[in-house]
Amino acid sequence: MQTVASRKGSKMYQEWQRVTKGSVQRKPKFVTEDGIEIKMLYLPKEIDDEYIEKLGFPGMQPYTRGVYPTMYRGRAWTMRQYSGYGSANETNKRFRMLLEQGQTGLSIAFDLPTQLGLDPDDERAFYEVGRVGVSVPHWKEMNSIFEGINQSKVSTSMTINATAMEELSMYIVSAEQKGIDANQLEGTVQNDILKEFIARNNYIYPPRQSMRYSADIIQYCARNMPKWNSISISGYHFEEAGATPSQEIAFTIADGIEYVKALLERGVKIDEFAPRLSFFFSARSNMIEQVAKFRAARRIWSKVMEEHFHAKDPRSKMMRFHVQTAGVQMTASQVQVNIIRTAIQALAAILGGAQSLHVNSYDEALGLPTEEAAKLSLRVQQVILHETDVADSVDPLGGSYMLEELTDQLEEEAMKIISSIEKLGGMVKAIEAGYPQKEIEKASYEYQMSVEKGEVKIVGVNIFKEKEDRGVKVLKINKKTREKVIQRVKRYREERDNGEVERRLSKLTDAAEKEDPNNNLFPYVLQCVRAGATIGEISKVFRETWGEWDSNR
């Protein structure tokens, strides 16, 4: 039977009031233009058991209304524009420009050779050096990216998976050169290899060895980098490949469950590593559904961590996540319309309680963002924060009939999919059976058919089309940049102690050959990087030891 109490009579409400009393406020007054006070939190007059179970209070289980008690009322989300192209020097200039313009976090985009463990002078890398991100083959290039930037004062996200250990090691060594210990560093490494096998395909090694590699990073960070998020479990790429919102929730959480199991099997305690697991979602233009998606995902993760894995630390049950606006919804026609799309998508992320946000630049359907476009994307976030009232109250849409019903329905549908994956034996076995891949492919096909039939309307694509005269400046990567990067890596190899590099790589080989989860590979890779090994040389050790994965075999 449900018990009903007034707000004042609710013990959870009293606890929430105690926690938020005297909290630091982002601005001195929160009032409307008419001078009406904006409350920190809006609640029904009476609170029953069902309300507590589904909504609760911000910063309390089940975290439907947000993972922190005051949310943006106390501290704004991190504005973290994903950037990087060409050389380390060019990326450094872009980073410094964004920081000067008010960005509050950094996010590195790596080029494909770096993501796939190839040095820039590898013949397989030639045409992709610096094209979709920055080339970072060794720690000195990482150091150049952060020239003039204090790594102890800024949080950095690194979108890297199959070579995450190498790149994070380079970040650590770069910081060490400035006298900054790894335990001071704040940020996130994506390190989500499972989603690569499902949707993105930037994997190198077979699934089992890849899971070992990823788990080693999580375990090492838990014990040596207390401020660092050891993984960003990513639903974004499922959505970009065509997944529905319920599929994005389900596949992401199923991946999270698989990583948790991998660490527990090693004997690592749940509350030792789970507080630093983080997540990454997309925000599409169907705003209310997206807000419901974020709320449902938080609620499911909280229940899974408590009921299935028996986590005790509240931080282990919090789903903290980054959001990026939907790249797949950007159009090459009428590109300025993308500014409107991304503003709506950014609003969905903020109303949904994201911890950090990247807003895509309007020109990304044509190429990498120009400086002007990147700056405008940052301004979208700043306008929402400073010129609207959506960040003045915690969970301003909470209690909406539409929102709450959609949240319940998405939770129910996502749980059905998660149950199906568990029946298959977990996400690794589901991937091997092709289950998530087929489901996303089916959803993508059905959506595209709806677009082509005109059932889903896209401005400039199937309605309100115009004769194209873009006149939009597209960022071009200078071919000389590639030549300079290649020359630098060759010179770097000549100047280092090659004997010490070979000794360190040999020790890494020995460690990789032994299938011992207690022999963490991270310290070996870190020593290789300190000695001067390149990403291609380290990856070669793993390639020769573990082999490369061919999904078609």
Q: The tokens of 425 are what?
A: 């034996």
Q: The tokens of 509 are what?
A: 């080989």
Do the Cβ atoms of 30 and 70 come closer than 8 Å? no
Do the Cβ atoms of 461 and 328 come closer than 8 Å? no
Give every CB contact of residue 510 below 8 A, 6+ residues apart in sequence: none
CA distance 226 to 272: 10
How many residues in the chain?
Answer: 553
Q: What is the pLDDT of residue 1?
A: 45
Greatest Cα pair distance in the chain: 75
CA distance 352 to 281: 11
β-pair type (78-79, 231-234): unpaired
Q: The tokens of 279 are what?
A: 């997540």
Tell me which residue of 35, 41, 36 sits closest to 17, measured CA to CA. 41
User: Running along the chain, 553 residues long, what does each successive block of 10 average in pLDDT?
Assistant: 65 92 94 97 90 92 97 97 95 97 97 98 95 97 98 97 98 97 98 96 95 98 98 98 98 98 97 98 98 98 98 98 98 96 98 98 94 97 98 97 98 98 96 96 97 96 85 82 95 97 98 91 98 98 95 66
Do the Cβ atoms of 4 and 50 come closer than 8 Å? no
502-528 residues labelled b (16+ CB within 10 A) or e (exposed): eebbeebeebbeeeebeebbbbbbbbb
Q: What is the pLDDT of residue 9?
A: 67
Domains and CATH numbers, the chain: 4-54 (no CATH), 75-390+397-453 (3.20.20.240)
SS3 62: coil
Do the Cβ atoms of 92 and 109 come closer than 8 Å? no
